Amino acid sequence: MALSNQLRNQHLMWRAGFGPAVEQLNSLDKTSPEKLYKALQKHSPKKPEYLQAADNYLQGLMLGIQDAGRLQKQEMSAEQRKELQRKSREGIRNLNLYWVKEMVNTDAQLREKMSFFWHGHFACRNLNVFFQQELLDVIRQNALGNFRELIHEVSKTAAMLNFLNNNQNRKDHPNENFAREVMELFTIGRGSYTEHDVKEAARAFTGWGANVKGEFVFRKFQHDDGSKTVLGKTGNFDGDEVLDILLDQKQTAKYISHKIYRFFVNDKIDEQKVQWLSERFYKSDYDISKLMEDIFTSDWFYDENNIGSRIKSPIELLVGLQRMLPMKLENEEALLLLERVLGQILFYPPNVAGWPGGKSWIDSSTLMMRMRIPQLINDKDEFNVNPKSDDDQMMGRGEDEMKTKAGKAGKPINAEIDWKKYLDYYDRVAREDLINDIAGVLLQTKKAVSAGVISQYADGGSKESFIRSATIQLMSTPEYQLC
């Protein structure tokens, strides 16, 4: 059975973006996926605006950094250090909220979705807001560009060099952490290199570091300029040359294509298709935009077994909800608490490998929480969840502070939903067809949701109240967790 344009376009919007926006509903059935993808491409190459989250206090501190090395820890009082850390964590929290807002509202859906993928690929925890801002900007600028340029630039960011301890990588005392993760997680993947390769590559990265302002510095007196052998090639290599050796390996194109297929197409890998994609990716010298076009314009991307086959990540779920139902949150901190409860806080990956995704998003408690979120947002339910205490996950804030800012247990999350455009879309739909039509917009799964059950719990007082309540009910189903 031929799939409708609407279903295929919704599939494209969920994978190449964060789900369809309410403004798109009228055109989803009339536009071909090819045209929609061209529109996504057209809106995405624009240079993204730098997301500035550090406040005036931090910016002033950064500007005065050269005066007398005021950020040197030994020259700061304990109180100043504490305030600096608090402000920086607050900045990262704001950066999180700014980026989520961008994901919700931007026409550059493809760029932000690719940036979200690279954010997980180049997983990095760093409590310096300036370093995180810079890393995010590098990722967003290069998200659809060239992977070669992207990895060279990411590898020189202060966030990554500090997170992977390369500031401590010196001649005669090499630190292997950075070199190992570049191989294992960013390029060729585990099993494609030896311990000797890691040791030799670590020598090549000696002297790579960043100063307190976040600028890349090459400390040549700390660099080992002797001969090294990495993946069978011998020479007086530096870090850039090692990255190029890794990029020369076809295995790098295969590793990246594999990971991208799993994220954008299906958890179940079709090795033949990945091989085809990776060969073309390698031949294009790592053109990310061409790789994504190969995926999103192929017939097989729209196969039924790829539609509704992925579990939405917490960010995809929260952003997708806000794109379909535009809303103002009385307290945006509530979003951070929801991210935390569901297991995905931007800029706080669980480890260097990032979020595993797939079925790891769902357990008995997170599934129940996910199904309650539409009710919470609709102000019909109380937020009485106490997340596990984890200082890292709380971004260094105490339990009481987190709950006070994000809505104390037992209090509703107040969201003001703008229903107008959504309700207008169903204006001409007959009452008896409403549930099927709403389900067709909200759900990507073949499995039908019982219209009887939805009707039983929906408010039948008026057409408008029925649409609103049926929508919240359908968003509260297990099927809505899939895209």
Beta strands in 359-420 (DSSP E): 415-417
The helix/strand/coil state of 228 is strand
Checking if the pLDDT of 71 tops 60, the result is: no
Answer yes or no: are the C-beta atoms of 314 and 367 closer than 8 Å.
Answer: no
The helix/strand/coil state of 259 is helix
| Domain residue extents for the chain | 1-35, 56-248, 314-417, 420-481
In this prediction, residue 281 carries a pLDDT of: 99
Block residue for tokens 């061209």: 38
Checking if the pLDDT of 394 tops 80, the result is: no
- The residue-averaged pLDDT of 361-371 equals 93
CA distance 376 to 414: 8
Residue 132: Cβ-neighbour burial (10 angstroms; 0-12, 13-18, 19+)? buried
- The residue-averaged pLDDT of 429-440 equals 94
Cβ count near 340 (within 10 Å): 21
* pLDDT confidence bin for 386, thresholds 50/70/90: low
Higher pLDDT, 66 or 232: 232
Residue 97, φ and ψ in degrees, nearest 5: -65, -40
CA distance 357 to 264: 12
Closest CA to 277 of 297, 258, 264, 251: 258
Question: What is the chain's alpha carbon radius of gyration, rounded to the nearest angstrom?
Answer: 24
**Residue range 400-411, pLDDT digits in tens:** 444 444 444 445
**Residue range 74-111, pLDDT digits in tens:** 566 788 788 888 999 999 999 999 999 999 999 999 99
In this prediction, residue 458 carries a pLDDT of: 87
At residue 211's C-alpha, the angle toward residues 165 and 394, to 5°, is 60
* pLDDT confidence bin for 294, thresholds 50/70/90: very high
In this prediction, residue 455 carries a pLDDT of: 83
Answer yes or no: are the C-beta atoms of 53 and 91 closer than 8 Å.
Answer: yes
Cβ count near 221 (within 10 Å): 7
**pLDDT over 70, % of the chain:** 90
**Residue range 14-36, pLDDT digits in tens:** 999 999 999 999 999 999 999 99
**Residue range 435-451, pLDDT digits in tens:** 999 999 999 987 777 87
Residue 269: which H helix or E strand, with range? none
Closest CA to 434 of 414, 459, 415, 404: 459
Answer yes or no: are the C-beta atoms of 110 and 17 closer than 8 Å.
Answer: yes
In this prediction, residue 178 carries a pLDDT of: 98
Rounding to the nearest 10 degrees, give the CA dihedral for residues 420, 424, 429, 431: 30
Answer yes or no: are the C-beta atoms of 35 and 27 closer than 8 Å.
Answer: no
Summarize the chain as % helix, strand, coil (round to 5).
60, 5, 35
CA distance 483 to 11: 7
Min mean pLDDT across 79-83, 222-226, 237-241, 477-481 is at: 79-83
CA distance 478 to 364: 12
In this prediction, residue 403 carries a pLDDT of: 45
Higher pLDDT, 72 or 247: 247
In this prediction, residue 399 carries a pLDDT of: 47
How are beta strands 327-329 and 415-417 bridged, if at all?
antiparallel
**pLDDT over 90, % of the chain:** 78
